[in-house]
Amino acid sequence: VGRGVLERLARELAAEPPGRPLVPISDDRVAVLHAEPLARRLRHGGVEVLPVLRFPAGEASKIRETKARLEDQLLRLGVGRDAAILAVGGGVTGDLAGFVASTWCRGIPVVHVPTSLVAMADAALGGKTAVNARGAKNRVGTFHQPWGVYADVSLLATLPDAEYANGMAEVVKTAAVGDASLFRWLEGAVERLLARAPAAQAHAVEACLRVKARIVRRDERDCGRRAALNFGHTVAHAIEAASAYREPHGRAVALGMCAEARLACRRTGFPASHLRRLETLLAALGLPTRLPAGRRWGTRSLLAAARSDKKARAGRLRCALPRRLGRMPAGDDVTCEIDDAALSAALGALAARGPRSD
């Protein structure tokens, strides 16, 4: 993590490449901004790098058909089991390119160069890969740990404001489930983070990766405590589905955390003062804490979407709920079963026009 980390990547890949050749995968937008320049730099350093494989930017590309098209390109290029994938991009690229790597010749290494805040602070670490299937989020995928993750915060300079704010939602989430002091630090660093001060960004990213690594190490396959990282996500996935993915992931996670923190107030004793701190921090970072006013989807479609989520075990909905900011419940199961009435109430509170409604 840090500035100049890509130079280190170039050195390490030249000295001991995880595979040969290296195949960069990137979306159309990031290919021009970051993947092509990085590929040139690596080639200059003597690393064997194939042309950048591209796909159209956006969540709509995170599907099985895009994976098959990338595989067809690997076939045409004669890529075998000695190769490695270089995923350069945001969460979509990491999930998609990681999935391609995990099944190519039954698994070749992947190196992640995250270029968005959400990918740096969260998605690139932990080995989860996936694509959506007919709208079902992340339904088809694998666990495939990366050979390395190289997060250069200077790449965040080209990130659109909206995407930057989206990434902040995962930063706040990570602090909320695993690091109370990071949460306090964030509350005091809002200005620096919004100004994209590299030192502040690097601190936030590195602290998030520490929390995530600690959690994933204990539960790589997501059988227990890793569910902590899903705080806000059960409701977020429902919001994304109900809005036909017009609501971006980070905004949906912000809203999801607000709803699930309300559930936590009843179920785990999450303090009401912490709910207010959470809402205040999210709002300060430019994230929503109330459902958008002009939306076409009601709380009823949200409820239906929540129930069809793959985290609904045996038809019952479960949410990962913190006990307080930075602290999850003890034990292997950090989730609570949520009945429809409680969920309705929590969603209803989000729908209410409050002072922070946008």
Using CB under 8 A as the binding rule, the residues of this chain from 115 to 144 that contact a second copy are: 128-130, 133-134, 136, 138-143
Q: Please identify, among the stretches 65-73, 182-190, 255-263, 347-355, the one whose residues bind a second copy according to the rule CB under 8 A.
A: 65-73
Q: Is 20 in the site for a second copy (CB under 8 A)?
A: yes
| Residue linked to tokens 């080995």 | 127
| Preceding omega of 21 cis (within 30 degrees of 0) | yes
The helix/strand/coil state of 122 is helix
Q: Is 72 in the site for a second copy (CB under 8 A)?
A: yes
Least Cα distance to 222 among 117, 141, 324 occurs for: 141
Q: What is the DSSP string of 184-199?
A: HHHHHHHHHHHTT-HH
Q: Is 64 in the site for a second copy (CB under 8 A)?
A: yes
Q: Contact with a second copy (CB under 8 A): which of 188, 195, 221, 339?
A: 221
Q: Is 187 in the site for a second copy (CB under 8 A)?
A: no
Q: Nearer Cβ to a second copy, position 56 or 107?
A: 107
How far apart (Å, rounded) are the C-alpha atoms in residues 132 and 96? 10
234 alpha-carbon distance from chain centroid: 14
Do 182 and 138 contact (CB within 8 A), yes or no? no
Q: Nearer Cβ to a second copy, position 128 or 290?
A: 128
Q: Nearer Cβ to a second copy, position 110 or 182?
A: 110
Number of residues located near a second copy, criterion CB under 8 A: 36
Is residue 184 packed enough to be buried (19+ CB in 10 Å), middle (13-18) or exposed (0-12)?
middle
How far apart (Å, rounded) are the C-alpha atoms in residues 293 and 327? 32
How far apart (Å, rounded) are the C-alpha atoms in residues 96 and 178? 27
Tell me the closest approach of the beta carbon of residue 220 to a second copy, in angstroms: 11
Q: Contact with a second copy (CB under 8 A): which of 14, 32, 68, 345?
A: 68
Using CB under 8 A as the binding rule, the residues of this chain from 290 to 349 that contact a second copy are: 308, 310, 312-314
Q: Is 81 in the site for a second copy (CB under 8 A)?
A: yes
Using CB under 8 A, list all residues that contact a second copy. 20, 64, 68, 71-72, 75, 78, 80-82, 99, 102-107, 128-130, 133-134, 136, 138-143, 221-222, 308, 310, 312-314
